[in-house]
Chains A and B, each alone.
Chain A
Amino acid sequence: MLGSLLLYGCTIPNTPQDLLGPTDAQLKIRSIQTRTFEVKDRNAAIRGVVASLQDLGFIIERANEPLGLVTAARFAEPNYYDVVSVTVTVRQDTKDRLTIRANAIYNNKPIADPKVYQNFFASLERSLFLTKE
């Protein structure tokens, strides 16, 4: 009896038609997560991403040069219960311009706060600028 009641609670609502279509929220978050840089050297940009993540206290977990992918994580110090992980992709747009996108997750929940990405890109800019010197 109890089991069937519990099952009732799980009834799936009708699937909306535009489930996989782009939503405004998606477009907004994509623009928050993306920046374009006037940088020619893609490899140096990836290394810049790694360096700025290290500066921010992240532990680099994975890197993939051909795909321009860097994955890193850190604990929300001073506590060690909350985890922030971030995936950064570096893509060459044109010969002298590339796009960097960062996706940050706080305890398995995507971060939509623009401030987080502003801070990340600010430190990335510093690191890219230092690399160029």
Chain B
Amino acid sequence: MRMGVCLASLTLLAGCVTHTEPAELFQLTAETPKRRAMQTRFFETPNEKELLSASAAVLQDLGFQVEESVREVGFLRATKERSAREYGQYIQRALFLVLSLGKLLNPVDLHQKIAAGLITRPLNQDATKQEVRIVFYRIVWKGDGQTDRQYIPPGQQYMEMIRDPDIYQQFFAKLSKAVFLEAHTL
């Protein structure tokens, strides 16, 4: 019985690892236009510098630290670190512990780094229209755990792209207020 549970959880874990060919990763997909639309707004302004510094200010308002900026290509990268503890994960951890009869102690998320990459770009020859594109993602560090007698040390990490449209809408709403301009969708 115990063996069965362990095996089942192992096969489930193994099932999650799929390998994507590198060539596929350099190809545009059906999702590309949708994601671009979510991450991009354009503004009717010739002032790219203003847009970039306003973006930095909005990110600061949201608690980010600007880590890198290159004005010539309109690039900003900002991060913030927060706790990643979630109630649900602790319940799941307890459930797994009981189901595996004390053998499996699942590591839970402890800490996360939320990052944003932002690009501004003139859209036309005369640069009267500027595009702002932002991508949010997070890196999560896990705590320790145990499978059978094997101790899992803390510090395992994984990363995920943030694809919740609300977060992007909130950012652009704040940015549009900061520059006193309407944010147009593509």
Contact = CB atoms under 8 A, between A and B. Distances in A.
A58 B119 CA distance: 13
Contacts of B74: 47
Interface of A: 43, 46-47, 50-51, 54-57, 59-66, 70, 74-82, 84, 104, 106, 111, 113, 115-117, 119-120, 123, 126, 133
B22 A76 contact: yes
Contacts, number: 96
Nearest to A80: B158
B57 interface: no
Contacts of A120: 26
Contacts of B115: 59
Contacts of A50: 73, 75, 119, 121
Contacts of A61: 77
B19 A82 contact: yes
Determine the interface band of chain B, counting residues with CB < 8 A from chain A: 20 to 34
A20 B94 CA distance: 58
A116 B160 CA distance: 23
A115 B27 CA distance: 10
A35 to B, nearest CB: 14
Nearest to A60: B117
Interface in B55-88: 68, 70, 72-75, 77
Given A78-B20, A119-B27, 18 more contacts: A47-B73, A47-B121, A55-B28, A56-B28, A57-B35, A59-B115, A60-B75, A60-B77, A61-B77, A63-B73, A63-B75, A64-B70, A77-B20, A77-B25, A79-B17, A115-B23, A119-B23, A119-B26
A51 B119 contact: yes
Contacts of A56: 25-28, 32
B17 A113 contact: no
Nearest to A70: B73
Contacts of A74: 25
A84 B159 contact: no
Contact of A60 (B25, B36, B119, B158): B119
